[in-house]
Structure 1
Amino acid sequence: MPHEIPLIRFGVIADPQYAPLPPNLGLNRYFANSLAKLDEAVAAFNAEELSFVVTLGDLVDRGFENFDAVLARYAPLRHDSIFLPGNHDFIVAPEQLPDVRAKLSMPAPYHHFSRNGLRFVVIDGNEESLFYTAKDDPRRERAVARLAALEAASAMNAQTWNGGISREQLAWLSNVLADAAAAGEKVVVMGHYPLYPENSHNLWEWQELVGLFERSGNVLVYLSGHNHVGNLGRHGSTWYVNFKGMVDTESENTFAVVAIHEDRLEITGFGREESRTLPF
């Protein structure tokens, strides 16, 4: 049966948030334990036939020097590895802020690529935030103003640890979705910050992106991390999957393998991550 053969399979990790620190028991976060969890995830992924493995941000809890220990854990991975940063990845010395994306071997802050007839889009939810840029950067000034407006509106996601995207990136994303539609490609969008359902962890302009995806009609799924308890929603024809945070709990792991079929999305969860079948 053609529907039994997936169009693509890939691995997903969210929020390892490593640091050589004692655990935060109040938040149930065991920063140092993520290295062993990554070893387990890489071994599991190496036993699978995958196109790539994506890590949805927050590789480290803080400290540029901690990236080396995390990235070393990916060295045995036999699949392509795609990284995108989260808010914690920018808790580094100010002069090291421009080096984070290069450290993660990113081709650009936001970008897209095609595999097996699908378009994959990586967005940058850190672009306008309080942590990504120096204090005199115009993007930071816009972030301060945007956060103040959200706070004045009593928005649930008016949080300093969230971020937003520029009008330029929003226009770029709209064009990419239109190009994919013209090419007959369905789309998978990936970012650190959730978009739907409404949540205190959501990207600042989550409603605009949800509306854009609905109008486009070709976004199968949006994948995110950041909210460590995980979440799931559907709006229009798009599924919104928020994966659980690896850093949480002392020993139980969480990661997933995602298979996209013509008619459904199948998530095979490991550890705390749930297995799901989501029809298109």
Structure 2
Amino acid sequence: EVQFTINLGDITDRKNSDLEVIKQHLSQLNHKIYHLTGNHDYKDITNNSVLYKQLDMPSEYYSFKKGDWVFIMLNTNEIASYANIAGTPKENEWNRMQEQIKQIKGKYAYEWNGGISEKQMKWLDRLLKKCEKKGLSVLIFSHHPLYPQSDFSALNGNEIVDTLSKYSCVKAAFSGHHHAGAFGYYKNIPLITLEGMVETENQNAYAIVEISQDHLLVKGQGRASSYSFKLSRQ
């Protein structure tokens, strides 16, 4: 009886043709599904807009509103070696990210990781500023974890969390990609990486999020962890 479902990406693994079978199963949910792409979803894709259309995404990154809450769907695959950026200005951004990671001796410049563009970062900052001004609460969603750093972090995750931390309207962030799961606080913002179901054939992994006036409850199912956070006033 959830109001909607959010897919954090990698809904397919080996090939794009598997997507239709998966969508048939998801159609049994009888409510809206908001999708993000993951690095595996780009297999067999040469035109990214085709993938976004298959997943009924309004854009490669977007937001939606439910009551006093805004849900921001970041695309951390936007700047990635697998996301058809060769020969485009985004390839230059990818090269700069690689160099920056090298300079700080980061260990997450892997081919399975990606980041967000300068354009998307500005969009995020403008949207958060608007939410803060209107007294709205925000949840952030991304495929790649933003924090704590690991081999699976977003290429410019540090810059993203610095932007998030400027706004008290941001209550939590959810990510996928790192199948083992992870958790950390960045300047009082809880960042949850949900466990993946892909390696556990006989055990599920998903979470139901309940939002009340003063609490955010994450009820992990199967191998997914559970969390409870008190919501601070803005």
What TM-score comes out, normalization by structure 2 length? 0.93
What TM-score comes out, normalization by structure 1 length? 0.79
SS at match of 2:29: coil
Q: Which ranges of structure 1 fall in alignment gaps of 5 or more residues?
A: 1-47
- Residue pairs, 1:24-173, within 5 angstroms: 48=1, 50-94=2-46, 96-173=47-124
1:232 to 154, 171, 183: 183
1:243 to 185, 191, 194: 194
CA displacement 1:217-275 (0-9 Å, x = unmatched)? 21001111000011111122311011011111221111110012222211111110122
Number of residue equivalences? 231
CA contact (8 A) 1:63 1:93 kept: no
- Larger Rg over CA atoms: 1
**RMSD across aligned C-alpha pairs, in angstroms?**
1.5
Q: Which has the higher contact order (CA 8 A, sep 6+)?
A: 1
How far off its partner does 1:82 sit? 0.8
CA distance in structure 1 between the aligned counterparts of 2:166 and 2:39, rounded to whole angstroms: 29
CA displacement 1:121-141 (0-9 Å, x = unmatched)? 111111111011152222124
- Residue pairs, 1:185-264, within 5 angstroms: 185-264=136-215
CA contact (8 A) 1:129 1:144 kept: no
Q: After the TM superposition, which segments of 4 or more aligned residues of structure 1 sit over 6 Å from their partners?
A: none
SS at match of 2:132: helix
- Percent identity among equivalent residues? 28
Tell which deviates more after alignment, 223-232 or 195-204.
195-204
CA contact (8 A) 2:97 2:156 kept: no
Q: Which ranges of structure 2 fall in alignment gaps of 5 or more residues?
A: none
Tell which deviates more after alignment, 147-156 or 163-172.
147-156
Q: Letter of the aligned partner of 1:198 in structure 2?
A: Q
Q: Letter of the aligned partner of 2:105 in structure 1?
A: S
How far off its partner does 1:152 sit? 4.7
